[in-house]
Amino acid sequence: MNHVEKKRLVVAVSGASGSLLALDLLRQLRTSGRWETHVIVSRGGQVTLEHEIPKNREEFLALADVYHKNEDIGASVAGGSYKTEGMVVVPCSMKTLAGIAGGYADTLLLRAADVTIKERRPLVLVARETPLSPIHLRNMAELAAMGVIILPPVMGFYHHPRSVEDLVRQITGRIMDVFGEEAEGYTRWSG
Ligand SMILES: Cc1cc2nc3c(=O)[nH]c(=O)nc-3n(C[C@H](O)[C@H](O)[C@H](O)COP(=O)(O)O)c2cc1C
């Protein structure tokens, strides 16, 4: 039998608004058939998921190939020798962003991000807050200088979005681009 090994990606959800972004990413990664997702949801992420997409709770869980509890600091993705292609925090709260910037790895989510940085793997933070304070901007600048990709879910209009789903898919497309994957319906600028 022709067995193709899937690539592993850590997909973490923290308590910023935008759980739909995580759901769309997980849907697209599942559709591609090439990814094994390792999902971690923070305490804040549980609250926003429940508030923003309560009807998709079961679907969300079913889309996680491996679901890790945030308290499980001994999980596979807590170790650098466990191979992954990188990690996405989507959406990323300012608290989680501060925790990553400070290296304060007291949860699995923060530890996995810490590992991703130390192993020099791509770490994408879909940082969501508005307006941004000097503290937020300082933490983002520090992380960006280390090579972390700060990818705020900022709306674009050049692709003529007709729905929230269109706007969300553009962000999913930008995230997947980092990992060499194409999202369905993602519109690229071609001049
Ligand atoms: C409905 C809701 C929306 C929120 N949106 C944001 C947000 O967009 N950005 C942010 O930084 N925090 C937001 N928060 C606050 C965070 O959830 C809170 O700071 C929490 O402690 C983050 O913890 P975590 O990063 O461990 O998930 C929101 C909270 C709720 C309940």
* Ligand 1 lined by 53 (C-beta under 6 Å): no
> How many CB atoms lie under 10 A from the CB of residue 36?
15
Q: Which pair of structure tokens corresponds to residue 111? A: 């530890």
Nearest to 84 by CA among 38, 40, 125: 38
Residue-by-residue pLDDT tens, the chain, 191 positions:
556 789 999 999 999 999 999 999 999 999 999 999 999 999 999 999 999 999 999 999 999 999 999 999 999 999 999 999 999 999 999 999 999 999 999 999 999 999 999 999 999 999 999 999 999 999 999 999 999 999 999 999 999 999 999 999 999 999 999 999 999 999 999 99
For 103-190, where are the E strands, in sequence order?
Answer: 123-127, 149-150
> What DSSP character marks residue 84?
-
What pTM did the predictor assign? 0.97
Full set of structural domains in the chain with CATH:
7-178 (3.40.50.1950)
Residue 29: the pLDDT is 98
In 3D, which of 74, 78, 75, 96 has the Cα closest to residue 22?
Answer: 96
Residue 70 CB–ligand 1 contact under 6 Å: no
135 contacts 99 by C-beta, under 8 angstroms: no
Question: Which pLDDT tens digit goes with each residue over 90-114?
Answer: 999 999 999 999 999 999 999 999 9
Q: Whose CA is nearest to atom 30 of ligand 1?
A: 48
Atom number of ligand 1 nearest to Cα 48 = 1
